[in-house]
Structure 1
Amino acid sequence: MGVSAVANAVDATSTQSVTLASGDNVTLSWYGTTDTGRRRETNQDAFLTAFPLFVVADGMGGHIGGEIASASTVDRLRAMAKKGNVSPITIEKALTKAVADIAAHPETTDEGTGTTLTGIYLDTDIATESWVTLNIGDSRVYLLRDGGLTQLTTDHSVVQELMAAGRLSAEEAENHPYGNVITRAVGPSESVSPDYVRVEIVDGDRFVICSDGLTKELTDYGIGHFLAQNPDPRDAVEAMLKAALENGGRDNVTIVVVDVNRSSPAE
């Protein structure tokens, strides 16, 4: 497997290419940003774009607990990604260390302190060549493929459980009083294991990784619209952020867009 990187300016779309075991070349283009929003005093979101791993974390907890939780989680995952071995085993080892970091921090005494975590990583192992999504909480990963937008992750939330049980409709869920209550997070317990889903590596795919600060303000249709209107990841991210803020910006907003270009040597 060969890897070549292009180091772009901080405010530009980043790109990196990798040659798969099959001989196909995959070039990724991505951009991410986070914003405090219009209602919150601090930003408790964090994100990581460290090839082959792209994640968003949305912290929760009193005082600055949520900020510490999301930053601790991203820091541990960044250190893991730098070693070049990203897998469920290494991810969960990093999360175990993050939980210990959160518990040991002097400013995270609130038992509710923790963070969501969602994202994707590129698995280039010859036997399992694919994307892998990971998810804990209610931040989300979307996939735009062939013009259709699909939510790849399933929320770990009270509302989602009620919907799955047939006790709540999608319309009722939008304004449910427990809309912000999640059922799984990094931090409140010693053992934390994400849900994983494998996704084929397909030319033209576009991933959106986001905190609920985006999905509170934009429908799936809106996300798809801005992706269709903005072929560059940076432009798509900035357009979605602008719309989320104009629609109220009630929470911190974090968005990462990753584009996939796959080609074979014969092309």
Structure 2
Amino acid sequence: MTQIGGSSGPRRIALPSGAGAVVLAWGTATDVGHRRQVNEDSLIAVPPIFAVADGMGGHAAGDLASDAVVVRLRAAAEEGVVTPAGIGLALAQASHDIARLDGTALTGAGTTVTGVALTVSGEDPYFAVFNVGDSRVYRWFEDEFEQVTVDHSVVQELVDAGAITRSQAEHHPDSNVITRAVGFNEPPMPDYWMLPIEPGLRMVACSDGLTKEVDEERIQALVSAGSPPEATAHALMQEALAAGGRDNVTVVVVDVVEVEPPAPAEG
């Protein structure tokens, strides 16, 4: 398990080219769970990137795969704000790193990754939401809760085809089979969503150790309870552990506290 960054109270982040600033607060939580021996999840919570990676592979390969992703995202974060193209490049570099891991030539190794990155479109701040696999990003804003990302999984394809319901998907025998990953000797194929950043917006990134244990109604209740980001992340993690904790569980919660507009042009 690799953790880059951690929880933070409100922090002002200046945007490039005089585009103003945003004030963010965030919280993280992770646990190996009750049945696993190794925590193969990794996370990064360093502005402008907040992400969760859920590794897969024999022995410690999953841990190394998720580590490769957050390390490459950390390098991308040094640029200040990150474009979807920058995220895609970081994931491609991580895939190359994973292919070179010792002992994985035959079995392969890989990881999911999902998260949000601070970016700018014109002079307006946005979150670039990105996803590969079945880890998820949720959005809470103005009393509305929604899953932003779409799972890359066999059961999601069955749901999309109308063959099973969303509730049936969580208990389907193929619920752990994903259709995209970073690694496994395949180029990553991330999906992206651009969400405007507004005060009061709360974003949640999590591994499936949360969503396989806790239904969305309960996740929404905890996300909307009004607790600070770190307390919310820990409450979600503890809920997953209390429900069985069959897998590693990792949660990152990001709040938009304030958005500062660009300074008026002189003259």
Q: Scaled by the length of structure 2, what TM-score is found?
A: 0.89
Residue type matched to 1:146 in 2? E
Deviation at 1:237, TM superposition (A): 0.9
Cα separation, 2, equivalents of 1:131 and 1:101: 26
Cα separation, 2, equivalents of 1:163 and 1:152: 16
> Measured at CA, do residues 146 and 40 of structure 1 come closer, stay the same or move farther in structure 2, by a change above 3 Å?
same
Q: Counterpart of 2:82? A: 86
Deviation at 1:85, TM superposition (A): 4.8
Q: Among residues 9, 17, 24, which one is paired with 2:12 in the alignment?
A: 17
Q: Counterpart of 1:145? A: 141
Q: Percent identity?
A: 44
Deviation at 1:47, TM superposition (A): 0.4
Q: Counterpart of 1:172? A: 168
> Measured at CA, do residues 11 and 101 of structure 1 come closer, stay the same or move farther in structure 2, by a change above 3 Å?
closer
Q: Counterpart of 1:158? A: 154
1:163-197 Cα offsets, whole Å, 9 max, x none, are: 10111112321210000000000002342131000
User: Residues 145 and 205 of structure 1 are in contact (CA less than 8 Å); yes or no, is this contact kept in structure 2?
Assistant: yes
> Measured at CA, do residues 183 and 11 of structure 1 come closer, stay the same or move farther in structure 2, by a change above 3 Å?
closer
- Structure 1 stretch displaced more, 24-33 or 200-209: 24-33
List aligned pairs for 1:22-171, cutoff 5 A. Answer: 25-126=21-122, 129-171=125-167
Q: What secondary structure sits across from 2:163 in the alignment?
A: coil
> Measured at CA, do residues 165 and 144 of structure 1 come closer, stay the same or move farther in structure 2, by a change above 3 Å?
same
> Measured at CA, do residues 28 and 110 of structure 1 come closer, stay the same or move farther in structure 2, by a change above 3 Å?
farther
Cα separation, 2, equivalents of 1:155 and 1:80: 24
Q: Counterpart of 2:265? A: none
- Structure 1 stretch displaced more, 126-135 or 99-108: 126-135
Number of residue-to-residue matches in the alignment: 257
User: Residues 62 and 110 of structure 1 are in contact (CA less than 8 Å); yes or no, is this contact kept in structure 2?
Assistant: no
- Structure 1 stretch displaced more, 219-228 or 238-247: 219-228
Q: Scaled by the length of structure 1, what TM-score is found?
A: 0.89
> Measured at CA, do residues 169 and 77 of structure 1 come closer, stay the same or move farther in structure 2, by a change above 3 Å?
same
Q: Counterpart of 1:257? A: 253
Cα separation, 2, equivalents of 1:16 and 1:190: 37
Q: What secondary structure sits across from 1:159 in the alignment?
A: helix
User: Residues 95 and 186 of structure 1 are in contact (CA less than 8 Å); yes or no, is this contact kept in structure 2?
Assistant: yes
Residue type matched to 1:238 in 2? H
More strand as a share of residues = 2
User: Residues 198 and 259 of structure 2 are in contact (CA less than 8 Å); yes or no, is this contact kept in structure 1?
Assistant: no
1:226-249 Cα offsets, whole Å, 9 max, x none, are: 123242111111111111101100
1:65-120 Cα offsets, whole Å, 9 max, x none, are: 11110001111111121233522222222222211211111132344410001000
> Measured at CA, do residues 12 and 187 of structure 1 come closer, stay the same or move farther in structure 2, by a change above 3 Å?
closer
Cα separation, 2, equivalents of 1:12 and 1:117: 19
Q: What secondary structure sits across from 1:129 in the alignment?
A: strand
User: Residues 64 and 107 of structure 1 are in contact (CA less than 8 Å); yes or no, is this contact kept in structure 2?
Assistant: no
